[in-house]
Amino acid sequence: MAKGLVKAKEYDWKDSNLALFGSDIEKNVKREAAGTELAWQSAGKRCGLQIWRIEQFKVKALQRNDYGKFYNGDSYIILNTYQKEESDEFFYDVHFWIGSNSSQDEYGTAAYKTVELDIYLGDKPVQHREVMGHESKLFKSYFPTLRVLEGGVKSGFKHVLPQNYESRLLRVRGTTIRNCKVEQVPFTKHSLDSNDVFILDKGTTLYQWNGRGCDKDEKFKATQVTQEIKSERNGRVKIEVFDEDEISSEHVFYKFFPNKTVEQHTGDYDSFGKALFRLSDKHGSLSLSQVSKGRISMSNFNSNDVFLFDTGHDLFVWIGAKASVDERRKALEYGHNYLIQTDHPCAAITCISEGDHNEDFAEALD
């Protein structure tokens, strides 16, 4: 990344084309830099999770008490190090997470630094791209609670006393304790949905509103979150919990909200049919071509090339054992640039090498 770039005031990361991502030039630059990046000195040395945030083109380690808390104005790199049974060898999954308001500078730096970390760890990690609101099951499994909040490093993260907090509304939804997600939503009563649980954070008081159709696990998760917030504020917080049907429309809870509308978003994937594309340099230069659509099975894949398997919800970049160096290095770049041309640019991307087992990939096959 060039020095002196300024964060754009208005930027949609989905417009970004990472033309150099994975190129030989970029690879060589990052190979040299990987050994000198201080942030990587402790990376992958033991099992567990490590998270870094991009701050002014630099990789800064996140404090562990902030793990699971992400801001929509930032980009992050997440490394999970683990061992398999009866093996002393380390294995890795490395994700870069893009906030909806993250700038091109931040997102680009996260993408390039992910390549650098991959190189530092001997090209062993499985690479993933995560987008706010569309995180993969694997990514969400790392955190007992995934909290996505407004703001970012540019906001300064200034310490604010609870009584001076700007009111915020958190939505808790999921079908199990493990996949329950906590996200900040627009501060208006129109954000309320009877199928979920909401937490109104007033700084010194937390109101937990249980929608009439919410799941018991959502209630339990919300209770955990309110206790976490209370602990973060040294216990100086009052918590009130009630069910939607227990209170009238005149309850004080509703009076806190301004009467403004919320833009409604429809799902990206409702009518999408699975599609498979081949990335190959068989004829001298890289080209992407569609192989099949609808029913996709392992018989459609070939060890000689790279394939993009688009389910609508996920994009699996499958790397054949005999794929060329160029096909391997360009795989994630092509995956990213393919998605931003679709109506579901936020889908999670996972790179899979032939022979590796991935449950989500296996389930998506016919």
The predicted-structure confidence for 119-164, as pLDDT tens digits, reads as follows 899 888 989 999 888 888 899 889 888 888 888 876 544 444 555 5
Residue 332: how many other CB atoms lie within 10 Å: 26
Report the alpha-carbon distance of residue 279 to residue 54 in Å, rounded: 31
Residues 6 or more apart from 313 whose CB is under 8 A from it? Answer: 134, 269, 344, 347, 348
Give me the pLDDT at residue 351, please.
92
Per-residue CA distances from 147 to 79, 222, 228, 287, 344 (Å): 18, 11, 11, 39, 23
Confidence class for position 296, pLDDT limits 50, 70, 90: very high
The pTM for the full model equals: 0.70
Rounded CA gap, 337 and 331, in Å?
A: 10
**Per-residue confidence at 328, pLDDT binned at 50, 70, 90?**
confident
Token pair in block for residue 285: 């230069």
Q: Is 122 left (phi over 0), alpha (psi -120 to 50) or beta?
A: left
CB atoms within 10 A of CB 359: 9
* CATH architecture of residue range(s) 275-364: 3-Layer(aba) Sandwich (3.40)
User: Mutual orientation of helices 104-120 and 24-34 as an angle, nearest 10°?
Assistant: 70
Residue 312 in this model has a pLDDT that exceeds 50: yes
Contact call for residues 137 and 105 (beta carbons, < 8 A) = no
Residue 350: CB partners within 8 Å, gap ≥ 6?
126, 127, 128, 136, 138, 314, 315, 316, 317, 358, 360, 361
Domain boundaries, the chain: 24-149, 168-255, 275-364
Fold identical between 24-149 and 168-255?
yes
Q: How far apart are CA 333 and CA 323, in angstroms?
A: 15
* Architecture of the domain whose range is 24-149: 3-Layer(aba) Sandwich (3.40)
pLDDT of residue 2: 37
Fold adopted by 168-255: Severin (3.40.20)
- Indicate the average pLDDT of the chain: 83
SS3 (DSSP) at 225: helix
Span 181-229, pLDDT tens digits: 888 888 898 899 999 999 999 988 999 999 999 988 899 989 988 998 8
pLDDT at 156: 46
* Assigned token pair, 157: 């993260």
